[in-house]
Amino acid sequence: MLKFILLYMGSIKEHDYLKICAELASVLTISIAAAKKKIDVQAAKKGTRDISSLKDIAETLLAEAREKSLSEDNTMTSKLDTLLEALAQEENFMVED
């Protein structure tokens, strides 16, 4: 029974970690695997591998990413708007099928 409880508690912590990874991936507009890799690189620099340390690192990276995205003028929406603007010489350009 104790083994089951320990496994269950580990999965709860891992679920929280995966949720933070997903949020980080969303803020950085990268895949969850890339977000996990970014966290793993930071963990390797610090020399930690336990789930609570990974969660702390993920929370720190998420806070930094959110702060950066709020402070920058170049949000994803403005970047997309800039890319979709037509240049003066391209305004009347048509592509035929």
DSSP 1: -
Rounded to whole angstroms, how far apart are CA atoms 54 and 36? 9
pLDDT in tens, 65-92: 988 877 765 566 666 677 777 666 666 6
Percent of the chain predicted with pLDDT > 70: 64
Selected residue with higher pLDDT from 75 and 32: 32
Task: Give domain limits for the chain.
Answer: 15-72
Selected residue with higher pLDDT from 92 and 4: 92
Residue 6 has pLDDT above 60, yes or no: no
Rounded to whole angstroms, how far apart are CA atoms 97 and 5? 63
Looking at residues 16-31, what average pLDDT do you find?
A: 91
